[in-house]
Amino acid sequence: MIAYKFLRADGGSVFTGFAWPLPPAGPGAWVEAPLDPCRSGIHACRPGDLPYWAGRVLYEIELDGEVREEPRKVLATRGRLVRRVSAWDELRDAYTRMCADRAHELVAAADPAFAHWDSVVEPSLPEGPALLGFVAARIAEEIEGRAAAYEAERARQAEWLTERLGLGAQL
């Protein structure tokens, strides 16, 4: 199965710091780990999961062995990085801006009682795409007063990313 994985700029795993074998010209070495959600195993994103885990650099990862699909992530017992998705490097700022603009748009269309949310958008920009994606989705959730609005906004962000990263309609 082909999936996606965000890493730190140094190629380390975001939460564990694990130093992934990076693909020089072809796929990197296989990494193996027993499967236990959020504890052990190779964790990766389907295209629809990307907004939840947006980070510094993005790789395509091949998963093998036992593969388990969970909400917001996919896990496997084996994985290897196949290639860096360099399109993300160029899209990261545009995606951040898109989320900010969307947040402004949601506030502008809502009841004036939600106007104070607008003030958190621009100061959050330096924090990058993960925070702005969250802010836009949380504003949608607050305005509509239901979790489904948060998920719908995340789906909208995933669609934007999938289309521009050329990942196909794999939502």
Partner 1 sequence: MAERGLHVTCSEVVELVTEYLERALPAEEATRFEEHLNFCDGCIVYVEQIRATVGTVGRLHEDDVPPHAKEQLMAAFRDWRRSP
Interatomic CA distance for residues 113 and 70, integer angstroms: 37
- Indicate which single residue of 53, 59, 88, 117 sits in contact with partner 1 (rule: CB under 8 A): 53
34 binds partner 1, rule: CB under 8 A: no
- 25 lies in the site for partner 1, by CB under 8 A: no
What track of x and - describes contact with partner 1 for positions 77 through 96 (by CB under 8 A)? --------------------
Stretch that binds partner 1, among 25-33, 67-75, 85-93, 107-115 (CB under 8 A): 67-75
What backbone phi and psi angles, to 5 degrees, belong to 80?
Answer: -145, 140
Q: How far apart are CA 4 and CA 98, in angstroms?
A: 21
Residue 70 C-beta: closest distance to partner 1, Å: 7
Q: Contact, 19 vs 11, CB < 8 A?
A: yes
Please list the helix, strand and coil fractions of the chain in percent, rounded to the nearest 5, in that order: 50, 25, 25
Assign 127 to helix, strand or coil: helix
* 146 touches partner 1 (CB under 8 A): yes
State the pairing for strand pair 57-70/31-32: unpaired
d(CA 58, CA 76): 18
Q: Which is nearer to partner 1, 37 or 168 (CB)?
A: 37
Q: Which is nearer to partner 1, 14 or 152 (CB)?
A: 14
Among 52, 59, 88, 160, contact with partner 1 (rule: CB under 8 A): 52
CA dihedral 86, 4, 43, 121 (to 10 degrees): 70
* Number of residues located near partner 1, criterion CB under 8 A: 26
User: Which residues of the chain form contacts with partner 1 (CB under 8 A)?
Assistant: 14-15, 37-39, 52-55, 70-73, 127-128, 130-131, 133-134, 138, 141-142, 145-147, 150
